[in-house]
Amino acid sequence: MLHEKRPFQCNVCHTVYSSKGYLKKHLMAHAGLNKCTEPMCGASFTTAGSVKEHMRTHTGEKPYNCNVCSAAFSKSGNLKNHLRTHTGDRPYKCTVCSAAFSESGSLKNHMRIHTGERPYKCTICSVAFSHSGSLKIHMRTHTGEKPYICTICSAAFSESGKLKIHIMTHAGERPYKCTICSAAFSRSGHLKIHMRTHTGERPNKCSVCGAAFSESGSLKKHMRTHTGERPYKCTICRAAFSELGTLKKHTRTHTGERPYQCMICSSAFSQSGQLKIHTRTHTGKKT
C-alpha cells in the first residue's frame, strides 16, 4: 500500500516543505530567533550559521582566503567557486548542448537560452530579461543613472563595458584589426560591421520593401521612410526630421554656425557639400 506524501505547510506564509524538520527551521525565521542585530536591517534566517554569514555583509569580514592568489571571500561557497578559475573545473554541464560552467547559477542562466525563459521583467515598460543583471542595466535607461565615470574626461556610462571601450579612445588603443585591410577598431562590433564592406553582407533587411543594410542603424533610419516618423525636432521652430544629422544642418540656419572652412580662402559654410562645391572654384574641377 502506497503512503501519501504529507506536505508540511507554514501557517504564516503558506510555503510547503517536504519534512517537518525543514518546516521547523523555516518557522524560526518568522519567530525572529535567528535575526540580524543591525538596527537598520532586521533580516531573519532559518539557522544561526546563516545569520553569521549575513553579518559579514555589515562587517566586511572575509575569512575565506584563496591559497593561489590574494582573493578573499565572506562565504566558503564563494571561495570554492573561485578556486575553479584556477583549476579550470566546470562541473555544471548543460544537458542540451556541450556548454559547461564552474557555477550552478551560470548554468541556470545559460539554460534560459534554450528555454527562452525571461523571468526578470521591467516594472516600467514591458521588456523582460533572462538575467537579473541585464534588467539592472536596462533600468538605467529609465532612471538615467550612469555610475561608471571616466577619470580622464568625466564622461559617464550606464555599463562598465562601455566605459572600458571609452577608455580606449583616450589610450588610442585599437585592438580589433581587419585581416583584409589595415583598418583597426576600438570595438569588436565596429570591426564586425567593417568586415561587411569586404564581404558585401547585408543582414539587416526591411520587412516592407526588402531593402538590405550592413548596419542595424541604417535599417532603422530607412524604416522612417515607410513610417513617416520624425523623432528629431527643432527646439526653435516646428521643423522635425527623420535623421539627427539633418536636424543639425537645419539648426545652423537658426544659429548661423558655419563649421566647414575653406583651406584656401576664408570662406565658411554650414554644410560640407557647400564647401565641396566651393572648393571647385579654386581647383577648376567640375565633378
**Coil, strand or helix at 128:** strand
pLDDT for 35: 76
Q: Which CATH architecture has domain 8-59?
A: 2-Layer Sandwich (3.30)
Alpha-carbon distances, residue 233 vs 57, 128, 149, 218, 224 (angstroms): 49, 30, 29, 19, 14
Which residues are paired to 241 by β-bridges? 232
pLDDT for 167: 87
Question: Using only C-alpha atoms, what is the Rg of the chain?
Answer: 30
The continuous run of DSSP H or E covering 92 comes out as strand 92-93
**Rounded distance between C-alpha atoms, residue 168 and residue 164, angstroms:** 7
Contact 213, 225 (CB under 8 A): no
Q: What is the mean pLDDT of each run of 10 residues along the chain (287 residues)?
A: 57 77 71 72 74 83 90 89 91 92 90 92 90 91 91 90 86 89 88 93 93 91 93 92 91 92 90 90 79
Q: Is the pTM of this model over 0.85?
A: no
- Terminal-residue alpha carbon distance, the chain: 96
The set of cell numbers assigned to 231 is: 523623432
Domain ranges of the chain: 8-59
